[in-house]
Amino acid sequence: MNALVLALCLALADGGAEPGAEPGADSVAEPGAEPVAADLVATSPGPRSPSPTSLPSPWRAPDTGSDTGVFVGAQVFSAFELPLTPLQQDPWSRFTLERAEVGGGFMWERTLHAVLRLEAIRSASPRSAFGIDRNSLLPRFRLAWAGATPRWTVFGARVALDLRAGLVPEPWLERLEGASATRGLVALPGERARLIGTSDLGATASLRLNEGLVDIVLSLTNGEGNNEVEQNAGKNLQAIVGTTPVVVDVLGEPLSLSASAGWRDGSVGLASVRNHRGLLALTASHPWFHVGAESVWALGVDGRPDRELLVVGAWADAPVVPGWLGVVVRGDVVTDLLPAANHATATEVTGGVFSDLGLAEVTGRQAGQLLRRLRLYATTSWRMADAAAAPVGAVDAATAWRVALTVEVTGITDVFDPTHTRPSTAPPPGDEP
């Protein structure tokens, strides 16, 4: 596994944007991401940023490069873990592959676009002992959608309407991942508890005003996720409202404060049982730090309409020695809201350090670089669950420690025109020396 990760890192490091590709003059960020403050960073006084405010999103086309062309990207999260439990006699270790994805897409005039992305998964579900060839890693489609983004100016306000159809990304996760700089370490609270899927078959419509001052997202999907066909007549209808009302200058760099709220009216399974979600998040994004909190209220879990869960999580990260050393902390609490479950809770806290190995200036701040992040985490996690708590998502009813080393590699090209060719450096015929 380490050899594969090293090979990918070397391959990504050799890449770059297609020569001659320049950012489009009317390029506008897609819905679901934090506002890109590249211009502010380049011109504002004060200390130089230790890292970019946000990375290119793996869910959509990048905002940089040509107005028409293609792009490719890959992402790998891999870890070496040492779990420790009170009853464990002989400690054992394991290598894990949390994410391995590759994909790309096409864009025409920053208006028509399509994305195709594959991911690697285990063939057996987390609670099953049987898969394909025991429990092999298999590729599957994570995203496969096409869409259009028309833009207007109405009474001085810039308006972008993003329309998508196919195997579309979960809009809630798409928005929050843009505000989290440590997704390679651990999934967002709602995703980690398996209360929110990553994609589903359906359609989304996103209205974006003034580059993210207000975002309104509506989605209509099957509700069965990307691993099951539609099983009932109901559909999942979800609405999300997000706003970034405050962008202020702090330490010579822009600080973006954002708030998001959403509700999903959903159903799942042959019996069409309820599968609703209430969503709330607050984030603060700055080149020197990221802070965020998410709350997910689940009414209906794992096909059980009577079950209710509340997940609350928070995260923070900041560099200590820019490019070389930073600190990160994360905490999640999962509570079963049914009185019959005695309001059982499961808590996990993770803390540690990370390093960009001195490559932040190369990977994050220069447009056109293919390797956007190479980061190592060294963390320890403490997990505790009540005796009455049933297994919830990735949290079991137990008390345990875990020590882990995690590598995060993200690479994505700018949009480039594959028909563009470099001018020949050979002398004209007859002019050879």
Residue found under tokens 């159809």: 165
| 3-class DSSP assignment, residue 235 | coil
Q: Using the 8-state DSSP alphabet, how is residue 54 labeled?
A: S
The answer to whether residues 75 and 371 touch, using CB atoms and an 8 Å cutoff, is no
State residue 345 phi and psi, 5-degree precision. Answer: -125, 150
Q: pLDDT 10s per residue in the chain (433 long)?
A: 444 444 444 444 444 333 333 333 333 333 334 333 333 333 333 344 444 445 667 778 888 888 899 999 999 999 999 887 766 666 678 899 999 999 999 999 999 999 999 999 888 877 677 788 788 889 999 999 999 999 999 888 899 999 999 999 999 999 888 777 788 898 999 999 999 999 999 999 999 998 878 999 999 999 888 888 888 888 999 999 999 877 888 888 888 899 999 999 998 888 888 999 999 999 998 888 999 999 999 999 988 888 899 999 999 999 999 889 999 999 999 999 887 667 788 999 999 999 988 876 554 444 446 788 899 999 999 988 775 555 544 444 457 888 999 999 988 888 888 887 554 444 555 554 4
Which of 353, 310, 313, 345 minimizes the C-alpha distance to 331?
Answer: 313
Which of 170, 199, 362 minimizes the C-alpha distance to 279?
Answer: 170
Farthest-apart Cα atoms in the chain, separation: 90
Residue 215 pairs in a beta bridge with 208, 242
CA distance 178 to 9: 22
CA distance 330 to 208: 30
The answer to whether residues 220 and 230 touch, using CB atoms and an 8 Å cutoff, is no
The answer to whether residues 209 and 217 touch, using CB atoms and an 8 Å cutoff, is no
Residue 217 pairs in a beta bridge with 206, 240
Report CA-CA distances (Å) from 4 to 72, 80, 119, 360, 418: 19, 14, 16, 22, 28
The pLDDT of residue 228? 83
Q: Measure the N-to-C terminal CA separation of the chain; round to a whole number of Å.
A: 51
The pLDDT of residue 36? 36
- Residue 81: both structure tokens together: 């873990």
Report CA-CA distances (Å) from 42 to 45, 47, 99, 253, 323: 9, 11, 32, 9, 18
The pLDDT of residue 61? 83
| 3-class DSSP assignment, residue 85 | coil
The answer to whether residues 57 and 31 touch, using CB atoms and an 8 Å cutoff, is no
Give the length of the chain: 433
- Residue 59: both structure tokens together: 């869910």
Query: Where are the domains positioned within the chain?
Result: 2-412
Query: Which residues, at least 6 apart from 324, have a Cβ–Cβ distance to it below 8 Å?
Result: 355, 356, 357, 358
CATH architecture of the domain covering 2-412: Beta Barrel (2.40)
| 3-class DSSP assignment, residue 363 | helix
Q: What radius of gyration, in Å, describes the C-alpha atoms of the chain?
A: 22
> How many helical (H) and strand (E) elements, i.e. helices and strands, does the chain have?
5, 19
294-333: string of b/e by CB count within 10 Å (b at 16+)? bbbbbbbbbeebebbbbbbbbbbbbbeebbeebebebbbb
